[in-house]
Amino acid sequence: MNYLKDLEQIININSFTKNQNGVNMVSKQMSIWLEELGFDNHCHERSHIGNHHLYTSPKTDGIKILLLGHNDTVFPKGKFENYSEDSEWIYGPGVCDMKGGNIVALQALRNIYAKNNKIENIDFLLVSDEETGSDDSKLLSSSLAKDYDVCFVFEAAGENLEVVTGRKGVGTFTIDIEGKASHAGVRYTEGINANLEAAHKLTELTKLTNLEIGTTVNVGKIEGGIGANTISPSAKLLLELRYTQNSERDRLLKALEEITNNSYVKETKATLSGLIQRDVMEANKAQSELIKKIEALSNTKILTEQRGGVSDANIIASKGVTTIDGFGPFGDGDHTVKERALKSSFIQRIDLMTTILEHHQTLKKF
């Protein structure tokens, strides 16, 4: 399992999203390994974050595959670093989210290159800002999506090695509310209470939640007012939407506009800002058919699951590309100092992806 030595090498490089130099150091090492397999390295340089890299192979007729991962992790220097392992588990930042997944993809590519001495119709995109919402890279990912028929994403597998066929869409928004300050004791009626308006809006926003179909609206932060003796002249609500269907996205966005524009407290004014960060990834027939083909190829039952969390799979799937996530190793504790990945799951995932890509290289289809 020499690939674990490779994993150790990149785990020991801190690649917190805002550590531009560290992210680029990981990218440099991944580039060395992928260029050894004949990939051309297209670097999308950035001045404020790490660079994004698209590794491309020669193209022929047939299905075009995109492998997708990210090089950044969540902890700054000194917080959670270094690689360790025992008989069952590997520990360290990114072992399952998702340097471990990147190594699964790399080793599968090495396996098919060793057999065929070439790789065709497979590209590998590694971005640098997934852990902070892909605010920069999502434009690149979206523009590239049209070039591919299938995308495999290497976020962590489920506990029973499930792949991921659905992820919620997510959006973050701010409502700024303007009222009018006045003395709460002497001129109470002259004030326009922005905090009271915020309370009404919070109640209406919360009513949009529908747990039965996985829709949640969370007002996670409230700011407002000056002090106890002043009618509040301003308030702010920071909120998040999550949804499992495109129809729910449309309903939420319409309602959000209506709640913002409706003055529950007379003469208050409100403005809305924010965006959908990643649109929903919905399970679909094309996914199901591809999974059945993979089951036949691998003689393995492929379990599936849908997750509330998002990944860059959302971006590619929203462009109509048949996308399956969760091809990384199984792990837990991601985004905590207890992050770990199960050694045996690396073997399963590498074998599975090697089978998939070998079949594709032979026939250029599924």
Closest CA to 25 of 13, 41, 12: 13
**What is the C-alpha to C-alpha distance for residues 291 and 295, in angstroms, rounded to an integer?**
6
Residue 326 one-letter amino acid: G
270 with 288, same domain: the answer is no
Closest CA to 231 of 270, 268, 178, 195: 195
Check pLDDT > 80 for residue 141: yes
| CA-closest candidate to residue 109, choices 119, 98, 97 | 119
CA-based radius of gyration for the chain: 24
Provide the number of structural domains found in the chain. Answer: 2
Each residue's pLDDT tens digit, 244-262: 999 999 999 999 999 999 9
Residues 49-80 have pLDDT tens digits of: 999 999 999 999 999 999 999 999 999 999 99
Asked which of 278, 308, 343 is the last residue of a domain, the reply is 278
The total of other beta-carbon atoms located within 10 Å of residue 358's CB is 16
Does 30 share its domain with 122? yes
On whether the CB atoms of residues 279 and 260 are closer than 8 A, the answer is no
User: Measuring CA to CA, which residue among 318, 317, 292 is closest to residue 304?
Assistant: 292
- 175 shares a domain with 318: no
Separation of alpha carbons 345 and 351, rounded Å: 10
pLDDT of residue 287: 97
Q: Which pLDDT score is estimated for 14?
A: 98
* Residue 55 shares a structural domain with residue 153: yes
Q: How many CB atoms lie within 10 A of CB 242?
A: 22
pLDDT at residue 148 in the model:
98
Looking at residue 166, the DSSP 8-state letter turns out to be E
- Determine which helix (DSSP H) or strand (DSSP E) holds 65, and give its type and residue range: strand 65-70
Asked if the model's pLDDT at residue 1 lies above 90, the reply is no
Based on the fold, state whether residues 185 and 126 are members of the same structural domain.
Answer: no
Residue 351 has pLDDT above 90, yes or no: yes
Structure tokens at 132: 């902070």
Residue with tokens 């190793």: 329
Mean pLDDT across 211-238: 97
> What is the three-class DSSP state of 210?
strand
Same domain, 154 and 222: no
Q: Answer whether residue 366 shows pLDDT above 80.
A: yes
Domain final position from 278, 299, 326: 278
* Distance of alpha carbon 322 from alpha carbon 80, whole angstroms: 35
Residues 190 and 267 in one domain: yes
Of 289, 315, 317, whose CA–CA distance to 304 is shortest?
289
Mean of pLDDT values over 202-231: 98
Residue 18: both structure tokens together: 């805002």
Q: Where a domain ends, among 278, 306, 332?
A: 278
Same domain assignment for residues 7 and 155? yes
For the residues 129-146, what does the mean pLDDT come to?
96
pLDDT at 84 over 80: yes
Cα 199 to Cα 235: distance, rounded to the nearest angstrom: 10
CB atoms under 10 Å from CB of 272, counted, come to 15
pLDDT at 332: 97
**Range of the structural domain that residue 149 is part of:** 3-167+281-363
CATH number for 163: 3.40.630.10
The residues facing 331 across adjacent strands are 341
CA gap 53, 63 in Å, rounded: 21
CA distances from residue 344 to 90, 328, 341 in whole angstroms, order as listed:
10, 12, 9
Burial category of 142 from C-beta neighbours within 10 Å (exposed 0-12, middle 13-18, buried 19 and up) = middle
Clarify whether residues 30 and 177 are in a common domain: no
Token pair belonging to 325: 């996530």
For 210-224, the pLDDT digits (tens) are 999 999 999 999 999
Q: Supply the CATH number for residue 246's domain.
A: 3.30.70.360
| Mean per-residue pLDDT over the chain, rounded | 97
For residues 145 and 157, state if they share a domain. Answer: yes
Q: What is the pLDDT of residues 95-124, one digit of tens each?
A: 999 999 999 999 999 999 999 999 999 999
pLDDT at 82: 93
Are 15 and 73 within 8 A, CB to CB? Answer: yes
In percent, the amount of the chain with pLDDT more than 70 equals 100
> Quick one: pLDDT at residue 9?
98
Token readout for 306 is 């849908």
CA–CA dist 338, 192 (Å, integer): 49
* pLDDT at 278 exceeding the cut of 80: yes
Q: Which pLDDT value is given to residue 274? A: 97
Q: Are residues 238 and 107 in the same domain?
A: no
Determine how many CB atoms are found less than 10 A away from the CB of residue 210.
Answer: 15
Whole-angstrom Cα distance, residue 49 to residue 72?
Answer: 10
Per-residue pLDDT band at 315 (split at 50, 70, 90): very high
Domain co-membership, 184 together with 145: no
